[in-house]
Amino acid sequence: MMNLSDTARALVAPGKGILAADESEKSADEKRLTAFGIKTGPEMRRKFRDMLLATPGIEEYLTGVILHEETLSQKGNDGELFPRLLAAKGITPGIKVDQGLEPLAESPSETITKGLLGLPERLTAYHTDYATGFTKWRAAITIDGDRLPTARALVENAKRLATYACEVQKAGMVPLLEPEVLLDGAHGRLRARAVIESVMRVLFDTLNEQCADLSGIIIKTSMAVSGNKSGRQDTPEEVAEDTLGALMETVPAEVAGIVFLSGGQTPDQATANLAAITKLARERNAPWPLTFSYARALQEEALMIWKGEDENVPAAREAFLARLEKVAAATS
Ligand code: 13P
């Protein structure tokens, strides 16, 4: 029986990473299917998951896949439940357990994440019925000049992330804590860096007051990049300097690992930035393993080719595998 820190370390093993395939029904329909001209609904979502998860050879690049609740009980084309199909390849199935965002009462242009109600019961069911080994909780942090984020948004989101983390560890799984600093906005890279630092400081202050064992948690973070309305394109070296700088200032060495989201970067940007960050991390002896946990940057090229058609599956899988290989290579 592996303990939590062994499970967490295995998820951030060198040269591999985690696929985020945990879009809610609505996000999968709107942002993955409709956005690529594909029909929606449960069967198309199932086919979309099968196109990715049944790709032969993904285990060479993936330690884990984050799933959404609907996918846990769906089956691949081979008739096997998706979590079992992954486990058979040696990939740990994970589950997104938050239930999305709602406006923060004290600052309605910001959000707080829902999902603590009934969480312990859901965790037990996921772990026993589907053998999930890890879980994800996403908070979204908005930047608007110096006005946002408010201290309140950081504190309230950190409290829920910490409560979530403790519950997940009690249930015998690894929590992946994702306070995503959104790319939307006209802010520069240095502002993004400062916000990532504030988010992490508040988060670790809160975690230290609670029961979470830091050696059995994984942090999922944005990179420090200029906002998508800034008109600026940072170089990978700039992104690496400010991303690693922010994390080394704020994330304790005991944390099992740090994974990145792609956040709306193109697949090539997300690959080049990751390569620069991991290179700098080796030069500076960063204390934790760093790798990817991308959704869009891994899926986009495959979705473009697939178009929802069975005959395009082999070509779509080839593109998916090719991107996985590049992203995995960027970590080593
Ligand atoms: P992106 O890589 O598309 O940002 O998604 C990662 C994720 O898990 C967002 O919650």
Residues 155-204 pLDDT 10s: 999 999 999 999 999 999 999 999 999 999 999 999 999 999 999 999 99
Q: Report the nearest atom of ligand 1 relative to the CA of 22.
A: 8
Phi then psi for residue 140, to 5 deg, are -115, 125
| 263 in contact with ligand 1, CB cutoff 6 A | yes
Pocket test for ligand 1, best of 24, 182, 296 (most atoms within 8 A of CB): 296
pLDDT above 70 covers a percentage of the chain that reads 100
How do residues 95-139 score in pLDDT, each as one tens digit? 999 999 999 999 999 999 999 999 999 999 999 999 999 999 999
Catalytic, 178? Answer yes
Each domain of the chain, given as residue ranges in start order, spans 4-330
Q: Which residue from 294, 300, 303, 324 has its CB within 8 A of the most atoms of ligand 1, so it is best to mutate?
A: 294
Is it the case that residue 1 has pLDDT exceeding 70? Answer: no
- Structure confidence by residue, pLDDT tens digits, 216-256: 999 999 999 999 999 999 999 999 999 999 999 999 999 99
- Assess contact for 202 and 155: CB atoms under 8 A: yes
Res 212: pLDDT: 79
Q: Which of 244, 236, 134 is nearest to 178 (CA)?
A: 134
- Are 256 and 8 contacting, i.e. CB atoms less than 8 angstroms apart? yes
- Rounded distance between C-alpha atoms, residue 236 and residue 240, angstroms: 6
Could you identify the residue written with the tokens 């394109």? 233
DSSP 16-47: -EEEEE---HHHIIIIIIGGGT---SHHHHHH
Confidence of residue 308 (pLDDT cuts 50, 70, 90): very high
* Residue 297 CB less than 6 A away from ligand 1: yes
The predicted structure's pLDDT at residue 249:
98
In a 3-state reduction of DSSP, which class is residue 183?
Answer: coil
Provide the percentage of residues in the chain whose pLDDT is more than 90. Answer: 98
**What are the angstrom distances between the C-alpha of 211 and each of 112, 137, 258?**
22, 17, 20
pTM for the predicted model, two decimal places? 0.98
**CATH 2.60.40.10, applies to 4-330:** no
Q: Are the C-beta atoms of 281 and 247 separated by less than 8 Å?
A: no
- Report the atom number in ligand 1 closest to the C-alpha of 263: 4
Residues 16, 136, 220, 326: which is the catalytic one?
A: 220
The residue written with tokens 């951030």 in the block is: 12
Structure tokens at 95: 């589950």
Residue nearest to atom 9 of ligand 1 (CA): 261
Across residues 5-28, what is the average pLDDT? 98
pLDDT at 211: 75
In whole angstroms, give the CA distance from residue 20 to residue 14.
18
325 is catalytic: no
For residue range 17-76, what is the model confidence (pLDDT) as tens digits?
999 999 999 999 999 999 999 999 999 999 999 999 999 999 999 999 999 999 999 999
Q: What is the mean pLDDT of residues 6-14?
A: 97
Cβ–ligand 1 distance for 176 under 6 Å, the answer no
**68 close to ligand 1 (CB < 6 Angstrom):** no
Cβ atoms of 172 and 211 within 8 Å: the answer is no
